Amino acid sequence: MKFKKLLLAIFTVSLVSVSCQQEDVETTTPDAEAEAISQDKVSKAVLAKLEALNLNTENVEISEFLLPDGTKKQTFIIEGDIAIDAEQLDAMQPGNITSKQYRTYNLVSAPRTINIVGWTGTGFGQNLTQKQRDALQAAVDNYNELNIGLTFTLEFSTNQAAADILVFQNPNGNAGGVAGFPSRGNPYGFVQIFSGMEQFSLGTNTHVMAHEIGHTLGLRHTDWFTRQSCGRPSFGELANPSGAVHIPGTPFRLDPDSIMLSCFSANEDGEFGENDVVALDYLY
């Protein structure tokens, strides 16, 4: 049974909550988006593009995403733990797919092998703790046990060049993590795990690792339309699903066992729910 839920991207941070939203609106140019991301307030043009992709336009934040060389890149933080920069936002286009577990229109090309590197060096952020390494290993093992069209390798090193997905710790003291969506058939390249996860169990750390990797493969929050796992009231379908593609065979409403819920409890076991397995098997 789930008890108190925590935002996947935040604990006491100012990076706000997480979900996914609505219909066709005008698109914007890269220049307009680049200009918007340099301002304190997210522009209406950017919000319109996010809305067209059915991403949640409430509480969109402009934040600095830590990069592997220690530099920071301004990004939009959407739904609390999804990072999208201006260039990627411009490249993401609503599709025409008729086919909930939900996914984006952007998926990873399959079959293929995805190389995950857990960072062990210094120079940016911090290396993964032993608990985080164990959690990442467990999450990767769980993905490989699905026997889908994606195979995952894992090494703990400073070999960033070998990484399709680099997993590293952000020492900000918060709980949760941040990742992004695929682009051009490749998974999102970075997963940040916040250092506050050290206070949680191995199972909860495994849950967060698997959740953020799920985003890099194109999975969206299972309850993007209500954020019910975060304690919000449960409404009906609030948005046109043209940008949040329902995955056949999965429920349209809250699945309390899904690893892709917007918020997580302090007592997760890190295992995929039944419908997570259905979703990943269908997609890959």
204: pLDDT strictly greater than 90: yes
Domains and CATH numbers, the chain: 40-232+240-283 (3.40.390.10)
Q: What is the pTM of this model?
A: 0.75
259: pLDDT strictly greater than 90: yes
pLDDT at residue 227 in the model: 73
Consecutive H or E run containing 213:
helix 202-216
Does 74 or 68 have the greater pLDDT score? 74
Q: How far apart are CA 6 and CA 197, in angstroms?
A: 11
The alpha-carbon radius of gyration of the chain (Å, integer) is: 17
pLDDT at residue 162 in the model: 95
CB distance 177 to 8 below 8 Å: yes
pLDDT at residue 18 in the model: 29
